[in-house]
A and B are shown apart, each in its own frame.
Chain A
Amino acid sequence: MRLVHWLIMSVLVAVAWASFGYLSLDLGRLFDKEALAQMAKYAISFFPPDLSADYLVRIWRGTLETIAISAIGTVMAAVLGVVLALPAAGRFGAVPRVAARLVLNFLRSIPELVWAALMVMAAGLGPFAGTLGLAWHTAGVIGRLFAETLENASPEPAQALRLSGSRPSIAFLYGTMPNVVPQLIAYSLYRWEINIRMAAILGVVGAGGLGQMLYFSLSLFQQPQAMTVILAMLALVVIVDGASAWLRQRLAG
């Protein structure tokens, strides 16, 4: 057993070495005096961050835009996710189930950033592309989860209602939905929290919000401004983490 372990270890070390070689990365050169001095100079140019009132207002707008992107994107994703989850849970037969699941898998396999870049191609630069990008990816995630919840939901309440003459769709709303809606809402809120972080960085491909501000300021060699954006991103994450922890405590109590 130990021999196998050593073999694997050696293979992994060899692979790691090969990677560096393939990239012609001479770590030594990367970290030599000159390169380090250059990096240090670049790093120092970020301080002090630009905290002027004017710029802070723009940062504020960027933050609001980021939050809006995440909120609207998550809402759109929830709607699309629910729509796709119904066939994916087998409510309309076997063929729609396979098709819907394929679509959902496709949506969630492509990372948000790639979706955002594609949407920039389609809808142009700006926050709308970011919103759409988030929506597509998150729809796949939410839809898949919701389909599983639906499939595991107990069928008795809806069946009993159909037996007393209710239409199938109404029986679904009265009998199955009450069991699954709380979970759907909770998961959507959880994804929104993740998406706020995502929305902040989607902008680097031109999809609005703080990310876009960061990209522009870096491209224009405005390091102090870029530093402010980075600080704003960090602050946003900390506040959102704190707020969600507080909310969770209050709701659980």
Chain B
Amino acid sequence: MKLDLERVSLEYPNGFRAINHVSCGIGRGERVAIIGPSGAGKTTLLRLLATALRPTAGTLTVLGADPWRASRGELRRLRGRIGMVHQAPPIPPRQRVVTAVLAGRLGQWPVWRSLASLVYPLDMPGAERMLARMEIADKLFKRCDQLSGGQLQRVGVARVLYQQPDLILTDEPVSAVDPALSDRIIGELNREAIERGVTLVASLHAVDLALHWFPRVIGVKGGEIAFDLPPVRISDAMLRELYASEMAQVPTQDYQPFETMVPGVRRKPVYF
């Protein structure tokens, strides 16, 4: 298994157990969506996979290696193969788009190249290509604080695309983005995963996006896995139960009630 969690737990010092004895395996090239109410542990799970958090119990294998048994150099190289799209892109406001995108490969470049690119961007065509896929190629030399929220989010995605990681993780990448754009972003990430045969694990707020785009959906509730199924096997009742504690409604990207969506269509994942 490319990604393997074996009875993994994460307990915070105050005793709160964010992840409770979770076991799960994800193979190479799989595209998986993680859904669940807020506070369920979706972000924690993702951050465990990103090697940002260390499990307090159990074994974690990422890209075939145990990150917490690895040496500093091995961990760094492992992380260079993991790309994370954040909900709010962590980019300094005054940085230019081109530098922000090129920063995706800092984990792979030698020191001299990283330093040189700071003075003069060394791979502008490469950055431009990724921005073109996100339809903002014209923003190449703009400063990031001159972009709208949606444009900045696309820069964050472009950075991960430029990194060309073996594992793409996304933490609610489109919850602050309008429905049309969010569809394009999720679509582009899926396209990337399929074309390069890499693994994509996306934590999503909107259930309709998850069911539409991903062949495997994991529901997380209370730090545990509630279900791990392809969309056709997930019933409305299961979804309502998943979100029961949080709100009356199952969340969708455009805030339309979940039930109004055409039943058959929403369950058929998109294959390219």
- Chain A residues in the interface with B (C-beta under 8 A): 156-157, 159-167, 170-171, 173-176, 178-179, 182
Contact = CB atoms under 8 A, between A and B. Distances in A.
Contacts of B77: 165
A175 B107 contact: no
A161 B93 contact: no
B113 to A, nearest CB: 10
A161 B106 CA distance: 8
Nearest to A168: B76
A193 to B, nearest CB: 24
B90 A164 contact: no
A170 B50 contact: no
B52 A163 contact: yes
A173 B118 CA distance: 8
Given A160-B84, A164-B84, A165-B76, A171 B91 contact: no
Contacts of A156: 90
A166 B82 CA distance: 11
11 contacts: A161-B107, A164-B82, A164-B83, A164-B163, A165-B78, A165-B79, A165-B81, A165-B106, A165-B107, A166-B76, A170-B106
Interface residues of B, number: 31
Which of the listed residues B82, B92, B104 has the most CB atoms from chain A within 10 Å of its own CB? B92
Given A170-B106, A179-B92, A179-B93, A164 B99 contact: no
Which of the listed residues A160, A164, A174, A178 has the most CB atoms from chain B within 10 Å of its own CB? A164
B86 interface: yes
Contacts of B78: 165
B111 A170 contact: yes
Nearest to A164: B107
Interface of B: 50-52, 76-84, 86, 90-95, 99, 103-104, 106-108, 111, 114-115, 118, 163, 165
A182 B94 contact: yes
B76 A163 contact: no
A165 B108 contact: yes
Contact of B92 (A157, A162, A163): A157
Given A162-B79, A165-B106, A165-B108, A175 B118 contact: no
Contact of A171 (B50, B93, B104, B106): B106
Given A163-B50, A166-B106, A170-B111, A175 B92 contact: yes
A179 B93 CA distance: 7
A186 to B, nearest CB: 13
Contacts of A157: 90-92
Nearest to B160: A164
B47 to A, nearest CB: 9
Given A170-B114, A174-B99, A174-B118, A164 B94 contact: no
A167 B80 CA distance: 10
Contacts of A178: 92, 94-95
A7 B91 CA distance: 59
B106 A163 contact: no
B94 A179 contact: yes
B103 A174 contact: yes
Contacts of A175: 90, 92, 103
A159 B90 contact: yes
B111 A164 contact: no
Nearest to A175: B92
A161 B84 CA distance: 10
A171 B76 CA distance: 12
Contacts of A174: 95, 99, 103, 106, 114, 118
Nearest to A180: B92
A25 B163 CA distance: 78
B80 A164 contact: yes
Contact of A165 (B80, B86, B94, B118): B80
A161 B94 contact: no
Nearest to B100: A174
A32 B86 CA distance: 80
A155 to B, nearest CB: 9
Given A159-B90, A171-B106, 12 more contacts: A159-B52, A160-B86, A163-B51, A164-B83, A164-B104, A164-B107, A166-B106, A170-B106, A173-B115, A173-B118, A174-B99, A179-B94
